[in-house]
Amino acid sequence: MVAGRQAAPAALSGAERVAIVLRELGEDIAIAVMRQMDETAIGRITGAMARLNRVSADAREEVLRNFEADLGGGGLGEDALRYINRVLVSALGEVRAQEIFGRLSRGERAQTQGSGFAADPRTLAMQMAGERPQTLALLLAQLPHETGAAMLSFLPEPLAAEAIYRFTTLDAVSPEAVRELREMMSELANSEDGGKRLANLGGAKQAADILNHLQIGLSERMMGAIEQKDHETAEKIRENLFTFLDLSGMSDRMLQIVLREVPSDRLAPALRLADEAVRQRFFQNMSVRTAEVLQEELRSGPPIRSSEAIAAQSEILEIALRLAAEGRIAINATEEMV
């Protein structure tokens, strides 16, 4: 460690306190918090994490003692979320912290084991398969997008497509509808202001984010069903979908980060359905030798089913979405992050 003064507890910034707590809580919760932040906030927190070696052990211990005292010795749950809320306010300000915390608390609540619904998406789909699409839309508004997408993948496709359509057009929710959802899933929407939150959720961007977490084939079939029902709504969703083509629009650095995570045997199948411009973007962002091997495989390799190519593209998209959730890349960003 480089010699020098280490920060005392009172001298710690809000971002440094957040970084200490998130590191203690573990990677899963840290990712859940940071996936809700914009690039500026992520930069402040990750920068603070990188500087933690300059923070004295006493300072770190004091932050964690305060954390444990606020939890009262209990497990991580609503008390932990309240504590995280306070440190986020300190780091990011009241308005931005409340936006992040509101989304995080819904996601954490949806994954709490003691809640009144099954966290497993397959079981949740079985429980909800007989409900109306509007009710499913309300549920999607309360679930993390990954969980909502997984649940939809286990539902009959016509029902799932209708639920996404209703979710997209969810601009106002009656108190009666909120009460109905609470009666079925009392622990899912147990906050006093749940109705206010629901009234502002939904929309094409949120629907697209859910669809982005589905297999490409399933997502396209659901989009086809929505297209037949409402062309204008379908177009709004498509404008926000993250597709394999969008990967070619990333900056070189971000595309290289994605490619480093992709298994080598998935590149050739994925590029079979890509046009030449997309292929060239991929070739330009890998080593010359790797590009040559891949080009030869595309020229002389055996034919594959289109479903295999679509599956490979979907896997690469999932990797990109995971990296975006971790704050390592920015979706639809063409400029480098500094």
Range of the domain at 189: 121-240
Domain boundary (70, 87, 110) is at 110
Per-residue pLDDT, 64: 73
Asked if residue 292 has pLDDT above 70, the reply is yes
Instruction: Please enumerate, as own/partner, the contacts of 230-234 that have beta carbons within 8 Å and a separation of 24 or more.
Output: 230/165, 233/165, 233/168, 233/169, 233/204
160 and 226 co-located in one domain? yes
Burial class (CB in 10 A: 0-12, 13-18, 19+), 57: exposed
List pLDDT tens digits, range 122-181: 877 887 888 888 888 888 887 888 888 989 998 999 999 999 999 998 765 555 666 666
Q: Are residues 232 and 250 in the same domain?
A: no
Q: Evaluate whether 124 touches 117 at the Cβ level (below 8 Å).
A: yes
pLDDT(262) > 90:
yes
Q: Is residue 1 part of a domain?
A: no
Final residue belonging to a domain, choices 110, 130, 149: 110
- The reply to whether the predicted model has a pTM over 0.75 is no
For the chain, the C-alpha Rg in angstroms (whole number) is: 22
Is 130 in the same domain as 179?
yes
Q: Is the pLDDT of residue 197 over 70?
A: no
- pLDDT of 273 > 50? The answer is yes
Range in 63-77, 223-237, 239-253 with the lowest mean pLDDT:
63-77
Please give the structure tokens belonging to residue 243: 């597709």
Does residue 46 sit in the same domain as residue 130? no
4 is a domain residue:
no
Q: Are residues 283 and 308 in the same domain?
A: yes
Whether residue 186 lies inside any domain: the answer is: yes
Q: Is residue 336 part of a domain?
A: no
- Report pLDDT for 5: 41
The answer to whether residue 86 sits within a structural domain is yes
Question: What integer is the mean pLDDT of 242-263?
Answer: 91
Mean pLDDT of 103-122: 49
The percent of residues in the chain predicted with pLDDT above 90, rounded, is: 24
Regarding whether 222 and 149 lie in a shared domain, the answer is: yes
**CATH number of the domain bearing residue 300:** 1.10.220.30
So what's the pLDDT on residue 102? 53
Last residue of some domain: 214, 240, 266?
Answer: 240
Judge whether 337 lies within some domain: no
| Total structural domains within the chain | 3
For residues 76 and 60, state if they share a domain. Answer: yes
